[in-house]
């Protein structure tokens, strides 16, 4: 743990903070670090063996290792490499067009709030002054066999978990799928990836998961993405691990994984905590008067609650990654 915290401290101070597109780099690296804390040595070795066959391992991993990393230290390299893998699906957004077309999948990071399946029976959309949209019945996960069938974060998890768990697949394909599994299991725990807000005028086409709601320091989606950035890795990881292990370290062997349940959790938070009553009242008033919506100032209580939820969600994402790796990968 001391070595892990030392590494995370260095990462926290040296790596730049990228533009927000999902959970930020800090959050994705935290999720991977939490997962590593629960993984067996055999599964950690398997993940690294798969990752080293990534088609862009040299460009996006080896040549990007910061100088403060001891490349001869297996633990340091494991933390850095799997953290980089967890963030890689956002890194590919910035690749040259030809390479980005191969790897970037913008629609895989989120889901239409009206889409429902299995445990996700509740929509993730908030409606102000308009009728609720009809449910969109999602296809069964077992029916997702090809990338062409993938169109949201749930079906992306259906597909990439299948690819990663299939020992008959080429290793480079499994390595890319590993990055997506690490990334998407965190993203599905971000409430603003689970739905949107719609209103009669201001957001007649939706707020794009909070991207259209301005606040005093960036849009609402970005604020939630960066919720743990201020505290950083070194302060946040021990808090998350303590929360997960109190009163006892959780049992992970034989535990089932259900990302539709995780989606349902995120939607409940989205509807109850993310869009405050003040926000909804201001949006309704802007609809009535047909005026533009002013930026919201997030209160100290709101920010504190946001940070608390982010710690809980990233912690659960990391734990659930470890559960899936331990139980689904041979």
User: CATH no. for residue 308?
Assistant: 1.10.575
Q: Give the pLDDT confidence of 274-302 residue by residue, as tens digits.
A: 999 999 999 999 999 988 999 999 999 99
Whether this prediction's pTM lies above 0.75 is answered by yes
Q: Give the pLDDT confidence of 98-111 residue by residue, as tens digits.
A: 999 999 999 999 99
Residue 261 — pLDDT band, cuts 50, 70, 90? very high
Residue 231 — pLDDT band, cuts 50, 70, 90? confident
Residue 20 — pLDDT band, cuts 50, 70, 90? very low
Mean pLDDT over the full length of the chain: 92
Residue 144 lies in a domain: no
pLDDT value at position 229?
79
Residue 85 lies in a domain: yes
Residue 158 lies in a domain: no
Mean pLDDT confidence for 120-129: 98
Q: How many domains does the chain have?
A: 1
Of 309, 127, 302, nearest in space to 215 by CA: 302
Residue 251 lies in a domain: yes
Residue 161 lies in a domain: no
Residue 212 — pLDDT band, cuts 50, 70, 90? very high
Longest Cα–Cα distance of the chain, Å, equals 64
Residue tagged 């929360």 (tokens): 243
Collapsed DSSP state (helix, strand, coil) of residue 319: helix
Instruction: Name every residue whose Cβ is closer than 8 Å to that of residue 174 and which is 6 or more positions away in sequence.
Output: 50, 53, 163, 164, 166
pLDDT value at position 7?
52
Residue 92's domain comprises 2-107+189-328
């Amino acid at each position: 743990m001391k070595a892990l915290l030392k590494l995370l401290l260095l990462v926290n101070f040296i790596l730049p903070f990228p533009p927000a597109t999902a959970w930020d780099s800090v959050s994705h690296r935290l999720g991977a670090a939490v997962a590593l804390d629960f993984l067996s040595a055999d599964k950690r070795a398997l993940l690294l063996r798969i990752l080293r066959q990534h088609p862009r391992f040299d460009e996006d991993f080896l040549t990007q290792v910061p100088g403060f990393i001891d490349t001869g230290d297996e633990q340091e390299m494991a933390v850095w490499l799997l953290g980089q893998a967890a963030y890689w699906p956002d890194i590919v957004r910035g690749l040259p067009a030809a390479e980005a077309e191969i790897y970037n999948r913008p629609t895989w990071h989120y889901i239409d709030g009206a889409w429902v399946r299995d445990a996700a029976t509740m929509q993730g959309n908030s409606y102000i002054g308009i009728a609720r949209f009809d449910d969109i019945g999602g296809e069964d996960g077992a029916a997702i066999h090809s990338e062409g069938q993938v169109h949201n974060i749930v079906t992306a998890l259906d597909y990439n978990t299948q690819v990663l768990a299939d020992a008959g697949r080429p290793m480079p394909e499994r390595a890319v799928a590993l990055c997506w599994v690490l990334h998407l299991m965190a993203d599905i725990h971000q409430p603003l990836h689970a739905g949107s807000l719609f209103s009669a005028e201001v957001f007649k086409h939706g707020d794009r998961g909070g991207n259209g709601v301005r606040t005093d320091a960036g849009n609402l989606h970005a604020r939630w993405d960066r919720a743990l950035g201020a505290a950083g890795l070194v302060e946040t990881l021990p808090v998350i691990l303590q929360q997960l292990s109190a009163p006892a370290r959780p049992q992970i062997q034989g535990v089932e994984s259900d990302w539709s349940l995780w989606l349902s959790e995120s939607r409940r938070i989205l509807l109850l905590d993310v869009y405050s009553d003040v926000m909804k009242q201001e949006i309704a008033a802007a609809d009535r008067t047909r005026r533009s919506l002013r930026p919201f100032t997030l209160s100290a209580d709101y920010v504190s609650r946001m940070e608390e939820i982010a710690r809980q969600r990233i912690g659960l994402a990391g734990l659930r990654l470890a559960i899936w790796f331990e139980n689904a990968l041979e």
